[in-house]
Structure 1
């Protein structure tokens, strides 16, 4: 079983461009808070959307989605909660910049997003 903290640490290990954000977060919060580092303004989710919009070319958003797909729905409830509530649910809605990223989600992530937003 992978914990949410282990998942975030593996994510930062795979995408070292995010290390300064991770270090700042831990310093500011005093500990790693996986949902916060992903979902609260200028978090990892925003960085991923900005990479998709080509505003942050230091982060390979396609590889990020592949990484998430590897970890999603493996029976690690804490990891899935971070990915669903602090990544998928934070993605742009239709008519918002970056919404096209939704169409790039791997099948399982897209299916879960469609359950969250059935009318979108």
Structure 2
């Protein structure tokens, strides 16, 4: 199994609030498309941060921080381009989530979005 697909499966195991989203994704996409799935992960994580759903945004951030620290290229690419880059911008609801990123994610976030 490719490392980016394993990342998705491991995330669902670590943050069970993503199970329904994962099942719908696999059904609709006829498999796992990590970058597409992570668009929804961002939306769910931000909604959770704002108090709007059952997904544990803190568990999600902890898991992604751990994964980023492993420095696996396929995993890093998904986390950086499909999660961090798609977080809210300073003028959008949920931007405060950025203040809760761990050191590895904060460094990557600052590198790809220096203006926030």
Same fold (TM over 0.5): yes
Residues 11-56 of structure 1, C-alpha deviation per residue, up to 9 Å, x if partnerless?
10112221111111111111100000111xxx11100000000111
Q: Which residue of 2 aligns with 1:36?
A: 36
* Distance in 2 of aligned mates of 1:108 and 1:63: 15
Q: Find the partner of 2:49 among 30, 49, 52.
A: 52
TM-score (norm 2): 0.94
Give the 4+ runs in structure 1 shifted more than 6 A. none
Aligned residues of 2:14 and 2:59 also touching (Cα < 8 A): no
Aligned-residue offset at 1:74: 1.5
Helix, strand or coil for the counterpart of 2:17? helix
Residues 49-94 of structure 1, C-alpha deviation per residue, up to 9 Å, x if partnerless?
00000111x1221111111111103131111111001100000000
Structure 1 spans left out of the alignment, 5+ residues:
none
Tell me, yes or no, if structure 1 residue 9 matches structure 2 residue 9. yes
Greater percentage in helix: 2
- The 5-angstrom pairing of residues 11-26 of structure 1 reads 11-26=11-26
Structure 2 spans left out of the alignment, 5+ residues:
none
Q: Find the partner of 1:72 among 57, 68, 71.
A: 68
* Distance in 2 of aligned mates of 1:75 and 1:113: 15
* Distance in 1 of aligned mates of 2:51 and 2:87: 16
TM-score (norm 1): 0.91
